[in-house]
Amino acid sequence: MRRFPLRTLILMALALVAFIRLYYISHTTRRQAPSSASAPAGQEPMGIDVAPRNPEAGAPTGVQACRTLDRSLEAAIRAPTDPTAFATARQQLAACSEPPVRACELGAALEARTGGDAGTSSLRELLDALCQRCPAAANPCAGQVTRAVMGLGAGRPADPASLRWNLEHAGPGTPLACAEVVRSLLAPAALAVETLTDAQKAVLGQLAPTCARAGQLPANVLNAAVVKGDVPALAPLVQAKPAGGSTALKPSRSVGPPGGEKAFDGQEATGVDLTATPQALRWEKDGALSALFEPPVNQLSELRVRASGPGTLRAVVRTEEDLGLSDPDSKTSFVLPVACRFRGTGQWETCALPVPLLAVEALSVFPEKGKLTLSEVEARGTR
């Protein structure tokens, strides 16, 4: 057997001792493991917070109020005399700047529970606050006005005072509600042919002032309705005054029988014979003779007529957004008030306009008894 040198045996023994020491130190450290012992001085031990948290705890107050607003409103509707339910709903409404659609939909229930009372009951107060915050498309006050105005056309009754309250408190929904008032009530009030019922006229008289204060009544349609004269409450709403420096307005062309332009040439000695033909395709707009202004006249302020035989002059007032009647040929919309009624005495007759007509694109003549001779029409205004 070969014997190892003493020097080699010593080195092997030292290496074994070093390995045993290293193994002992490393395993002892792992068993101790407390973070406080290994953390440097002056530092807090790090850890992970795994305790469950309330999901609402970090949410803003307004967000919380919006999330529970519908339930609070329902509680107030179920118990309208409960001061606690009312206070909770009022507090959450104050904190919620834009209520969710579900909460806005409860406005109809609030309206129904008030029993038409336009006073200051607690539910009315909640409805007012709700309407001031709900967006136009979901606004309960605006929706109430829109539905009622449309229902009038189908013969459904409506309370004008209640509708006025809703419109006055519609907040962001005011333009939307007034647009329906203009489309369904104001524009028809500016048509020569009677289209509004007494109930519709009464509602228009109640709602128009609120829309006027909000700047939501088109001036050309409003003035045309005032000239038509079926709703007296509209007259005080006109703001514009007649422009100074009016001149004689000459039409660009005429539509009707040959020689029709002679009735607008400024010569009393010339004229044209007209016959009523109600069955004509464009009779409602053009009548027996129509004088067209291209572009439309800015303001028509005075009218004089000399004719033999009674008749009327209708002003064709250009509108936007499909208000009133539609002309498929020109793809334009218009209202059509009677601007002048003349007896046809053969002498000059002056037709006083209570307010100027705006955006007038034509004047059309309608014989009252089948025939008339139109010697001259004098229109004055500003281009």
Query: 285 and 230, same structural domain?
Result: no
**CA-to-CA distance for 238 and 223, rounded, in angstroms?**
7
Question: For residue 319, what pLDDT is reported?
Answer: 96
Q: 176, 203, 237: which is the final residue of a domain?
A: 237
Query: 286 and 194, same structural domain?
Result: no
Residue 44 maps to a domain: no
Query: 226 and 276, same structural domain?
Result: no
Residue 58: pLDDT over 70 = no
- 191 DSSP assignment: B
Question: For residue 18, what pLDDT is reported?
Answer: 59
Question: For residue 147, what pLDDT is reported?
Answer: 95
Question: For residue 40, what pLDDT is reported?
Answer: 42
Instruction: Outline where the chain has alpha helix (H).
Output: 6-32, 35-38, 61-78, 83-95, 101-105, 107-113, 122-133, 140-153, 160-168, 174-181, 198-213, 219-228, 283-286
pLDDT tens-digit series, residues 95-147: 888 898 999 999 889 888 876 554 457 888 999 999 999 999 999 999 999 99
Residue 64: pLDDT over 70 = yes
Residue 213 maps to a domain: yes
Query: 218 and 253, same structural domain?
Result: no
Residue 18 maps to a domain: no
**CA-to-CA distance for 156 and 148, rounded, in angstroms?**
8
Residue 65: pLDDT over 90 = no
Residue 310 maps to a domain: yes
Q: 178, 205, 237: which is the final residue of a domain?
A: 237
Query: 91 and 117, same structural domain?
Result: yes
CA neighbor of 301 nearest in space, from 343, 360, 342 = 360
Query: 163 and 222, same structural domain?
Result: yes
Q: Domain of 331: which CATH number?
A: 2.60.120.260
CA-based torsion, 69, 72, 78, 82: positive or negative? negative
Query: 187 and 95, same structural domain?
Result: yes
Residue 47: pLDDT over 50 = no
Could you tell me the pTM of the whole model? Answer: 0.80
Q: 188, 208, 237: which is the final residue of a domain?
A: 237
Residue 176: pLDDT over 90 = yes
Residue with tokens 């059309």, as numbered in its chain = 364
Residue 152 maps to a domain: yes
Residue 43 maps to a domain: no
> How many domains, in total, are found in the chain?
2
Q: Which domain holds residue 260?
A: 247-382
pLDDT averaged over every residue in the chain: 85
End-to-end CA distance of the chain: 133
Does residue 307 or residue 12 have the better pLDDT? 307
Residue 24 maps to a domain: no
Query: 71 and 200, same structural domain?
Result: yes
Query: 210 and 278, same structural domain?
Result: no
Query: 87 and 169, same structural domain?
Result: yes
Residue 26 maps to a domain: no
Question: For residue 173, what pLDDT is reported?
Answer: 96
pLDDT tens-digit series, residues 367-376: 998 899 999 9
Query: 229 and 262, same structural domain?
Result: no
Residue 25: pLDDT over 80 = no
pLDDT tens-digit series, residues 184-196: 999 999 999 888 9
Query: 145 and 115, same structural domain?
Result: yes
Question: For residue 60, what pLDDT is reported?
Answer: 45
Residue 229 tokens, joined: 């004269």
**CA-to-CA distance for 336 and 338, rounded, in angstroms?**
7
